[in-house]
Amino acid sequence: MPELPEVETVRRTLELAIIGETIDHVVAIYPKLITTPLDDFLTQIKNQTILKLDRMGKYLIFLTNDYALIIHLRMEGKFFIKTDEPILKHEHVIFKFKSGKELRYHDVRKFGTITLLSKDSYLESYPLNKLALEPKDLKPDVLFNKLKSKSIEIKAALLDQHIISGLGNIYVDETLFRSHIHPTRPASSLTFEDVETILKSAIYVLEKATSLGGTTIRSYTSSLGVHGRFQNELMVHMKQGEPCPICQTPIIKMKVKGRGTYVCPNCQD
């Protein structure tokens, strides 16, 4: 599942390929991915030029002359740039540019979403208006105040994009390991210092992963020819049975909120 570093990597790669391209039309082969009324979407997007690519949390934002196209890749969404090649089975939405280039949205699980909003009001509209800040922008006291009323497990809280944005399963495991905090601890039990440590760890992990092009494991495979290298830096995620890099205790795997979660039972409490 693409998390913040992978989405940022997609943004940087796409930026080089499609800035300045003008959309001739869009072919919606599987229109359910488009959450805007389809006729409006297909009409409004015509002749729009891609001016800027932005990102908030795990959302990609294509800014055009009049609109903001908001895309969430969810589990398996990815993009490919092609010209006039046969359309593959999982290519569901095709953006056809006037240059002849095509941007193809590919999604095996079909969980992604594509939404077209007015450029004047997209930040105040769903889904971005519900999104919390990313670790680098979030103040420790704001996060501490959000967590202190939550009895849920800290891992579940950190996965909640209304509390903190950009962290998914991989980076929460890595963040909590670096913070020496067990993922099942109630969010409300954390001290202010714990919250400061979590934020510092999250910023480090996300920056390091982004600088390496993200993590390429299992469900997140290459898009646009990009292979991340952060999988070589993982300390606990997917390391079940391997020695903890700090204390050598074998890493265990457990379920937290239904997600496979990797923990050092000695370092994290």
Contacts to Zn ion by CB under 5 A: 244, 246-247, 249, 264, 266-267
d(Cα 193, Cα 174) in Å, to the nearest integer? 18
Which residues, 6+ apart, have CB-to-CB distance to 65 below 8 Å? Answer: 48, 49, 51, 119
Nearer to Zn ion, 26 or 264 (CB): 264
Nearer to Zn ion, 71 or 267 (CB): 267
Of these residues, 148, 185, 259, 265, which one is catalytic?
259
Nearer to Zn ion, 19 or 247 (CB): 247
Of these residues, 2, 5, 135, 183, which one is catalytic?
2
* Nearest in space to 145 (alpha carbons), one of 132, 155, 136: 132
- Edge-to-edge strand ranges of the sheet holding 23-28: 23-28, 91-97, 102-106, 78-82
d(Cα 163, Cα 174) in Å, to the nearest integer? 18
3 is catalytic: yes
* Nearest in space to 126 (alpha carbons), one of 116, 112, 111: 116
Cis peptide before 250 (omega within 30 of 0): no
Least spacing, CB of residue 180 vs Zn ion, in Å: 9
* Spacing of C-alpha 14 from chain mean position: 15
Nearer to Zn ion, 198 or 236 (CB): 236
153 is catalytic: no
Of these residues, 21, 58, 104, 134, which one is catalytic?
58
Least spacing, CB of residue 246 vs Zn ion, in Å: 4
Q: Which residue is nearest to Zn ion (CB)?
A: 244
Nearer to Zn ion, 19 or 246 (CB): 246
Least spacing, CB of residue 204 vs Zn ion, in Å: 18
C-alpha count within 13 angstroms, C-beta hemisphere, residue 102: 18
- Please identify every residue annotated as catalytic: 2-3, 58, 259
